[in-house]
Amino acid sequence: MSIQHIKVIAFDADDTLWINETIFRNAEQAFAKRLSSFLPEDDIVKVLLDTEIRNLQHYGYGIKGFTLSLMEAALRITKNNVDADLVEFILDLGRGMLAEPIELLPGIEDVLDELSKQYKLVVATKGDLLDQERKLVKSGLIDFFHHIEIVSDKKEMQYKKLVKHLDIEPGEFLMVGNSLKSDVIPVLAMGGHAFHIPFHTTWVHEESDEEINHSKFRSFASAQEMLNFMRN
C-alpha cells in the first residue's frame, strides 16, 4: 500500500479521537433500568434502538436527537403514561451526557502532533454542530486541524464534496475512523484511502459485516500502530 501521494488526513471524532459510545451506552442502561417495571431491560433497549434509527432522518446524530428518542421511546414503552418525574429523569440524562468530560483515546494527541507536521489534518464527523464544536474545543485538539467538517451523514457524496472543498484528488485523501460503514466503505468507493481503527463498542447502526479487501485499506489496533506504519 502506497501512501506517498496523500496530502490530507481526515479523522472521525467520536470514538476515534475521544470516547463517545460508552457515554451513550451508560445512558441507555440507566434508561432501561428506570423503565424496567414496564418491560424487560433488553426489550427496552430494542425499542429505543428502533426509535433512534427511525428518528435519524428527523434529528440526525448526537445527544439532542438521542434525548428526543428517549422521550419517544418512553411514551411507547409506558403506553403514554409518562409523568413529570420521568420527563425530568430523561432531560437530566441528556444534560448529563452533554456535561461529560472529554476523554481522549490513548496516544491520540501525540499522533496528531507528529502527523500535523507532514500532512494537512481535518476532522470529518457526524453529529450535532454545536455539540461537536463544543467537544472539539474541550478536547484541546482543535489547533491540530486545518478544517472541521460536521455533516448530517457520511456517504460517498459528502466525501466527494469535502475533497472538492480541499482542492485535492480522491487518491490524495486518507480517512481515519472507527466505523467501516461511515469512515471506510464510502471513502474507498470514491477512490480515497481509508484506515480503520476499531473502538471496543460500536453502535449497532454503524456495524458492517462487509469484508473489505482493498489496496487502499488498512486496519490497525490503535492510532499509535497506524502512526508506526506511516513512518515506514
pTM of the model as a whole? 0.88
**What domains sit in the chain, N to C, each tagged with a CATH number?**
8-18+103-231 (3.40.50.1000), 21-99 (1.10.150.240)
Helix 41-59 and helix 63-78, axial crossing angle in degrees, nearest 10: 130
CA nearest to 184, candidates 166, 168, 202, 167: 202
Reading the chain (232 residues) residue by residue, the pLDDT tens digits are 567 899 999 999 999 999 998 999 999 999 999 999 999 999 999 999 999 999 988 988 889 999 999 999 999 999 999 999 999 999 999 999 999 999 999 999 999 999 999 999 999 998 888 889 999 999 999 999 999 999 888 999 999 999 999 999 999 999 999 999 899 999 999 999 999 999 865 544 445 566 788 889 999 999 999 999 998 7
User: Which residue is associated with the grid cell 439532542?
Assistant: 64
Question: What is the secondary structure of 81-99 as a DSSP string?
Answer: ---HHHHHHHHHHHHHHHH
